[in-house]
Amino acid sequence: MDIKELAELAAMPVRNVRYLIAQKFVDGPDTSAGPVNAVYTERHLEQLRLYQSLRDAGLSQQAIRAMTEEREPSEVAQRMQEVARHVAPGIEMRIVPALVPGDLDREELVHRILGILSDLGVSKKGNANVDAQDEDRRSAGEDEAQGRRPRQRRR
């Protein structure tokens, strides 16, 4: 296939394909028949799709380079297998273990998830444990801001 076909299949502009080749995220084409007749294969398409999925997952170009350098796209894709868990009606969590940082702050993650639920208007009603943890965080923050030792919640 030519570069236009490749770009169309990858759903990106030809300019982006050329950039990713120049930056070595994608192998160069076969130019044995001359540069005007450059030939692209399924491997090029696989590399483009892998790059797109890694960018969609929030990885920087530097992180993508480190993850893909000297590896086959299928090997990287295999490491990227996501785990999906049904959490509650209407809520599914997807995790890509290879992308989870080793120093992940779980409390910060819970805080972000609660923020998303709040933004969506999902009520905390019926979840006293989450409400209690939220109240503990708020109380501790208020106490620290006023220079007092955080209060201990009676359980």
- Kindly report the CATH number assigned to the domain that includes residue 26: 1.10.1660.10
Instruction: Indicate if 107 and 75 belong to the same structural domain.
Output: no
Q: What rounded mean pLDDT belongs to the chain?
A: 81
Residues sharing a CB contact under 8 Å with residue 123, sequence separation 6 or more, in sequence order: none
Q: What is the pTM of this model?
A: 0.55
Q: Is residue 91 part of a domain?
A: no
Q: What percent of the chain is modeled with pLDDT above 90? A: 30
What is the domain extent for residue 129? 103-155
- Pair (72, 115) in one structural domain: no
114 and 55 housed in the same domain: no
| DSSP SS3 for 148 | coil
Burial of 151 (C-beta count, 10 Å sphere; 0-12/13-18/19+)? exposed
Q: What is the mean pLDDT of residues 93-104?
A: 79
CA–CA separation, 130 and 138 (whole Å):
12
Tokens 């208007």 label which residue? Answer: 121
Whether 119 and 65 map to the same domain: the answer is: no
